[in-house]
Amino acid sequence: NKDNRLQFQVTRFGHNEKLVVARDITFMHRLSQMRKDFVANVSHELRTPLTVLKGYLETFADAEQLPVQWRGPLSQMQQQCTRMHLLVNDLISLSVLETEVIPDRHQVLSLQPLLQHLVDEANSLSAGSHSLSLNCDSNIALRGVEKELQSAFGNLINNAIKYTPPNTQITITARVDQSGLTVTVADQGPGIEARHLPRLTERFYRVDDSRNSATGGTGLGLAIVKHALSRHDARLEIASQVGKGSQFSCRFPKQRLA
């Protein structure tokens, strides 16, 4: 049956002996598919009512005769609506990455303009609060899906801005060697304790809720990065030193270079 899923585990022992264990994971696979479909449907359904609420709240907030005691609650409602909007958008991005079929033929993308565009966007959104520098040769090209790579690198750059103090340096570097391409976003922020590193790409995992509530993140950013990279046979490596800063490195195999 084409819907059945088997998982094989091969163990070698002796000279020519192998033990092959096949597990029927059809049920697990179906459950996981149902979860993905459910999240995709719910997040799509939530987007429209939220847009309506946001629109009305903006109209009320702009009204001249608004009673003064309404201003505070209204502004809080707007903030919460914006938070939910970000969350719903991130959930949709994640479910698209999980469910959309990977295209057979990838575009050839020139890396320098792609990264430069993200740096310019980050500079204008953060109003120059940080100093961003980009080191990338103009001849590096890779095969991929533009919007997915933009989302991966963009999330890392946004995090670097979000979690580090103003006026610190953020460096984006692309390097090619025998093993492939590495794109690194390095910051001089607070760093992350080693015990958190293995869990950072889990959905909704956030290091410190009290610190994060002020930054308005969703806890989905690094999960999106991980998924977008794995669709490009790439992986995310995180190195960090508390008090010194963090480096998020996206490692692409050399077959991805064009």
Query: Which residues, in sequence order, are CB contacts of 55 under 8 Å at separation 6+?
Result: none
Sheet strand arrangement including 180-187:
131-135, 169-177, 180-187, 245-253, 235-241
Q: How far is the CB of 246 from ligand ADP (least distance, A)?
A: 5
140 vs 152, beta carbon nearer ligand ADP: 152
206 vs 232, beta carbon nearer ligand ADP: 206
Cα–Cα distance measured from residue 69 to residue 49, given in angstroms and rounded to the nearest whole number: 26
One-letter amino acid of 57:
L
Q: How far is the CB of 71 from ligand ADP (least distance, A)?
A: 28
| In contact, 232 and 149? CB cutoff 8 Å | yes
Binding site for ligand ADP (CB under 6 A): 155, 159-160, 163, 187, 189-190, 192, 200, 205-207, 212, 217-222, 246
Q: How far is the CB of 179 from ligand ADP (least distance, A)?
A: 24
Q: What is the CA radius of gyration of the chain?
A: 22
109 vs 134, beta carbon nearer ligand ADP: 134
Query: Which residues, in sequence order, are CB contacts of 3 under 8 Å at separation 6+?
Result: 26
93 vs 246, beta carbon nearer ligand ADP: 246
142 vs 158, beta carbon nearer ligand ADP: 158
Q: How far is the CB of 140 from ligand ADP (least distance, A)?
A: 23
State CA 201 to chain mean position distance.
9
Cα–Cα distance measured from residue 255 to residue 233, given in angstroms and rounded to the nearest whole number: 9
Q: How far is the CB of 158 from ligand ADP (least distance, A)?
A: 8
